[in-house]
A and B are shown apart, each in its own frame.
Chain A
C-alpha cells in the first residue's frame, strides 16, 4: 500500500464500528432529553440483536429483521417505562436490572441460532457515484442502516430543536412540573421518548448481528451499550456531537489496532486504552463552558414525576 490508499478502508472500518453506537446513543439521547435515564441500553441492544437475527433467519427479509429488532427493543423499553414511569421505580437501578434481564433473555431466545450464518446486509452500490475514487466507496456504497443512522441523527436534531413537539419534549425533560402545569402530558411524552430509545437500541443491536458481524452469539454487544451511554454525556446531549463522538471513538479504536499491526512498540494494553482516555480528555476540553452544557443537559434527568403534586 502506498500514498493515501489506506485512508478509504480505514474510513470504511470506522463507519461500521461507529454505526451501532450512533443508533443506540441517538435513541437514548431522546429518552434522556425527556428526563428519563435508561441504563438498560446494553440489554435492549442484545434483545434487538437476537430478535433481528432470528427474524432474518426465519423470514429472510432484512426489512422485517430490522423492524422486529426495533419492536423488540421498544418492548424492552416499554417494560422499563411501566416500571419507572407508571410505578415510579428508580431509573438507574431499573435500567441496570433491564440489562441483566436482556442479557439472559437474548441468550435464551438465541440458543438455537448460535453457529447459524446469514448474509451480511447488502451494501448499496449507487452506479456511477460509488465508483468515484476516494469519496465514492465512503459516501455511496454503505448499507442502508448506515445511511439510516445518519438520517436519524439529523431527524432527531431537527425534531428536538426545530419542531414544537421537540420543544415540548425538552420542556418535559427540563422541568416536568412546569410542563405539567402548562398542561402537557408528561408521562405520555416520556413513554414515547423511552420507546423511541428502545427501538433505536434494538436497531443498533441488529446492526451488529446483521451487518457488522452477521451472526448471533451470546453477549455479542460486548459492552457497546455502555459506550453509547457515555457518548451522550460526551456529546453534552447534542445530537450532532453524538455522531462526532461515535466516529471519534470508533476511529481511535481502529487506529490503535492499525498501530499495533504496523508493529508499534507500545504494549497493546496501552494502545487499547486510547479510545477511553481520549474520550475523557476531549470531554474535559469541551466541558469548560458550563453555560453551554447547562443549556443542553436535561435538568430533570432521572427524577421521578408524579402529577398529583
Chain B
C-alpha cells in the first residue's frame, strides 16, 4: 500500500487558502514535541512566538518595521524569479541603496528641505538599481550567470560600506567610531503612528505590493515577464526580448531593494552604521517563494517571517530559550509552509496496488 501523490486536473482554489492553516496545524503539533523535548511548555512557547510580540500597538508596529525591508526586497525579487532571472544579491543592492541614498545627507548634512528625503529615496532606488545593473550587463553582454555575479557583489557592497563607515563617513564628533552622524529631521523618514517606529518605508512597501500586483496582472511588461518565464520560446516567437526582461527584472528588484536600504537607514536606524541589514536580502528570497511569487502572498509571508523573528526575541527574553531554538523553529515553520503547498496542485491518494510508484 502506498501513499500516492496525484496531480489534480485543476488546481484547488480552496487549498490556496487552506494550506497555510494546515501548515499552522502541523507547526503546532510538532512544536509540542520540540518544546516538550526542550522542557518548555509548548503552549507557552507558541504563545511567546506568535502572540506575545503583538500584544500592543507598539508590538504590532514593530511587526511592520521588521517586515518592511523583507517585503520590499521580496516583491522586487519575485518579478525576476517569475522571469527566471535569479537575482540572489538583493542584500548587496539593499546596501548600495542605503549608501547612495544617505550619501546626500552625509555630504550635505546642513540641507533642510522637504525635497531632501524624496531625493534620498530616489537615490536609494538608483543605487540599488545601479548595483543590479552590473549583473544585468554581465548577463546580457557576456552571458555571465547572474546567480554568481549578484551573490559576489553582496560581499563587495558590504566592504564598500565598511570602507566608508570606517573612514570618511564617520561622525566628526564621534571619536572615530564607525558611525555616521545621526540624520537630521529633513533626512528622517516620517513616522506613521506617533510613539512607534513605523515609518514611511512601510507605506512604500504597501505601494510596491499594489503597484506590482497591477503591473503583473494588467500591463504588457508584466505579461512579458510571465511569458518569458514560463515559455521562453513562445515569448521569442511573440517578439518579446529576453534581454529586455533580464534588464527590467534586475533593475526593478535592485531599485526596490535599494529603497529598502535607504528606508532602514533613514527610518529606524537613523544613521549609517557598519551593519545595516541582518540579511534581509537573503531572507526575502524565502519570503518571495513563501508568498508564491504573488504580491499579496508576499505581503503576508513577509509579516509571518517578521513575526517569527520577533517571536524569537520574546522567547529568548521570557523563556530563556537560546537563539538556536528560534532557528530550528523557523526552519520547521518554513518547511511545513513550503511542503503543504503541494496540496494546491496535487492530492494524496492511497494506492492499494503493490507496485511501487517513483
Which residues of A come within 8 Å of B, CB atoms? Answer: 79, 83, 86-90, 92-94, 96-98, 100-108, 111, 180, 185-188, 218, 226, 229-230, 233-234, 267, 269-270, 272-273, 276-277, 279-280, 283-284, 287-288, 290, 293, 306-309
Contact = CB atoms under 8 A, between A and B. Distances in A.
Given A273-B155, A284-B138, A233 B145 contact: yes
Interface stretch (B60-68, B255-263, B334-342): B334-342
A209 to B, nearest CB: 16
Interface string B309-326: 000000000000011111
* Interface magnitude class on chain B: 35 or more
Given A83-B335, A89-B339, A92-B285, A111 B148 contact: no
Contacts of A276: 152-153, 155-156
Contact of A107 (B282, B327, B358): B327
B151 A188 contact: no
B339 A104 contact: no
Given A83-B335, A308-B7, A96 B282 contact: yes
A287 B322 contact: no
15 contacts: A90-B289, A93-B286, A97-B331, A103-B327, A105-B328, A107-B322, A186-B358, A218-B324, A229-B147, A269-B159, A269-B160, A270-B159, A279-B152, A288-B142, A308-B6
Given A276-B155, A284-B138, 18 more contacts: A87-B342, A89-B339, A92-B285, A93-B338, A94-B335, A97-B335, A97-B338, A101-B335, A104-B326, A104-B328, A104-B331, A105-B328, A107-B323, A107-B324, A108-B324, A269-B163, A279-B148, A308-B6
A39 to B, nearest CB: 8
B242 interface: no
A306 B327 contact: no
Contacts of A105: 324, 327-328, 331
B346 A101 contact: no
B152 A287 contact: no
A93 B334 contact: yes
Interface of B: 5-7, 81, 138, 142-145, 147-149, 151-153, 155-156, 159-160, 162-163, 166-167, 282-283, 285-286, 288-290, 322-332, 334-335, 338-339, 341-342, 345-346, 357-358
A296 B327 CA distance: 36
B331 A283 contact: no
Contacts of B345: 88
B148 A101 contact: no
Nearest to A90: B289
A100 B331 contact: yes
Contacts of B159: 269-270, 272-273
A272 B157 CA distance: 11
Contacts of B289: 90, 92-93
